[in-house]
Structure 1
Amino acid sequence: MFNLPYVPTADDLIDKAFRAGAKKSKTVRGMSRRKPEKALTAEIKRVEQISAIVEGDLNAVVKHFPSYEELSEFHQALLDLRVKKDRYKKSLGAVKWCSDRVSSLKNKTLRKLKTQKDLGESRVFLGRVSSFIKRVRKDLDYLVEVKGVLLSFPFLKDEPTLVVAGVPNAGKSTFVRTLTGSKVKIASYPFTTTEIMIGYRKVRYMEYQVIDSPGILDRPMEDRNRTELQAVLAIEHLADVVLFIIDPESELENQLRLLDEIEQNFNLKVHTAVNDKGGENPKGYETFNATKEEDCLRLFKECIGLK
Structure 2
Amino acid sequence: MSLYNFKKIAVVPSASDFLDIVLSKTQRKTPTVIHPGYKISRIRAFYMRKVRFTQDSFDEKLGLMLEDFPKVDNIHPFYADLMNILYDKDHYKLALGQLNTARHLIDAVAKDYVRLLKFADSLFRCKQLKKAALGRMATIMKRQKDSLGYLEQVRQHLARLPSIDPNTRTLIVCGYPNVGKSSFMNKVTRANVDVQPYAFTTKSLFVGHMDFKYLRWQVIDTPGILDHPLEDRNTIEMQSITALAHLRACIMYFIDLSEQCGFSIEDQISLFHSIKPLFANKPIQLVFSKMDAQRIEDLGEAHRAMVDQLLKEPGVETSALSSFTDEGVMDTRNRACERLLATRVEAKLKTNKITDVLNKLHLAQPTEKRGGVDRPAFIPEAARGRVRYDHQDPKRRRLERDLEVEEGGSGVYNVDLRKHYQLKDDSWKYDAIPEIMDGKNVADFVDPEIEAQLEALEREEERLVEQGLYESDEDILDSEDERIRDTAASIRERKAIMKAESQLRRSNTTSGLPRRIVNRSVTNRDLQTHLEGMGINEAVSEAVARSRSCAPVKRARSPSRAESLAREASVAARAQSQVRSRGEVGLRSEDITKSTKLKRMAERSRNQVARQGESDRSIPNLKPKHLFSGKRGVGKNDRR
Query: TM-score w.r.t. structure 2 length?
Result: 0.40
User: Alignment partner for residue 130 of structure 2, among 95, 107, 122?
Assistant: 122
CA contact (8 A) 2:227 2:274 kept: no
> Residue 192 and residue 129 in structure 1: after superposition, are their counterparts in 2 closer, same or farther (change >3 A)?
farther
Aligned CA distance change for structure 1 residues 218 and 178 (closer, same or farther; 3 Å): same
Aligned to 1:21: 26
Check if 1:212 corresponds to 2:221: yes
CA contact (8 A) 1:21 1:46 kept: yes
Is 1:186–1:195's contact at 8 Å kept on the other side of the alignment?
no
Deviation track 1:239-273 (CA, whole Å, cap 9, x = no partner) reads 43321233454469714422421431351154213
The alpha-carbon deviation at position 230 of structure 1 amounts to: 3.0
Q: CA deviation at 1:55?
A: 1.6
In structure 1, C-alpha distance between the alignment counterparts of 2:143 and 2:293, rounded to whole Å: 68
Q: Distance in 1 between matches of 2:179 and 2:237?
A: 22
- What is aligned with 1:63? 67
Q: Which moved more, 1:3-12 or 1:275-284?
A: 275-284
Contact 2:186 2:192 in 1 (8 A): no
* Structure-1 residue corresponding to 2:234: 226
In structure 1, which of residues 247, 258, 264 is the aligned counterpart of residue 268 of structure 2? Answer: 258
**Hey, which bits of structure 1, 4+ residues long, moved more than 6 A?**
none
Aligned counterparts, 1:162-181, within 5 A: 162-166=171-175, 170-180=179-189
Report the counterpart of residue 295 of structure 1 in structure 2: 331
The answer (yes or no) to whether the contact 1:105–1:125 under 8 Å persists in 2 is: yes
CA distance in 2, matches of 1:246, 1:83: 32
1:80 maps to what in 2?
A: 84
Measure, in 1, the Cα distance between the counterparts of 2:188 and 2:201: 26
Query: Counterpart of 2:162?
Result: 154
User: What is the root-mean-square deviation in Å for CA atoms of aligned residues?
Assistant: 3.9
In the alignment, structure 1 segments of 5+ residues that lack a partner are none
The match for 2:94 among 90, 94, 102 is: 90
CA distance in 2, matches of 1:147, 1:130: 24
Describe the shift of the 1:256–1:35 C-alpha distance in structure 2 as closer, same or farther (beyond 3 A).
farther
Q: Which letter maps to 1:257? A: D
Question: C-alpha separation between the residues in 2 aligned to 1:248 and 1:261?
Answer: 14
- Residue in structure 2 matched with residue 4 of structure 1 by the alignment: 9
Structure exhibiting the larger radius of gyration computed from Cα positions? 2
CA separation of 1:295 and 1:60: change in aligned 2, threshold 3 A: same
- Please tell me the residue identity of whatever aligns with 1:11: S
CA contact (8 A) 1:170 1:247 kept: yes
- Measured against aligned partners, the alpha-carbon deviations of 1:40-67 in whole angstroms (never above 9, x if no partner) come to 5553443244223322221121111111
Matched, 1:106 2:110: yes
Q: Secondary structure at the match of 1:70?
A: coil
Query: Alpha carbons of 1:168 and 1:265: their partners in 2 closer, same or farther (altered >3 Å)?
Result: closer
Deviations 1:14-54 (A, max 9, x none): 343234434555x531xx78952675555344324422332
1:145-187 deviations in Å (ceiling 9; x for gaps) = 433443343222223432113456654344334434x3x3659
Q: Which structure carries more strand by proportion?
A: 1
Partners of 1:77 and 1:234 within 8 A in 2: yes
- Structure 2: state its 5+ residue gaps: 195-199, 298-307, 312-317, 344-640
Distance 1:229 1:293 in 2: 26
TM-score by length of 1: 0.75
SS of alignment partner, residue 32 of structure 2: helix
CA separation of 1:88/1:175 partners in 2, compared to 1, >3 Å: closer, same or farther? closer
Decide whether aligned partners of structure 1 residues 21 and 15 sit closer, same or farther in structure 2, where only a CA change above 3 A counts: same
Distance 2:174 2:144 in 1: 45
- What count of residue pairs does the alignment treat as equivalent? 296
Distance 1:192 1:70 in 2: 33
Say if 1:81 and 1:231, in contact at 8 Å, map to a contact too. Answer: yes
SS in 1 for 2:172: strand
Q: CA deviation at 1:100?
A: 3.0
Instruction: State which of 11, 35, 38 in structure 2 corresponds to 1:36.
Output: 38
SS at match of 2:342: coil
Over the matched positions of the two proteins, sequence identity in percent amounts to 20
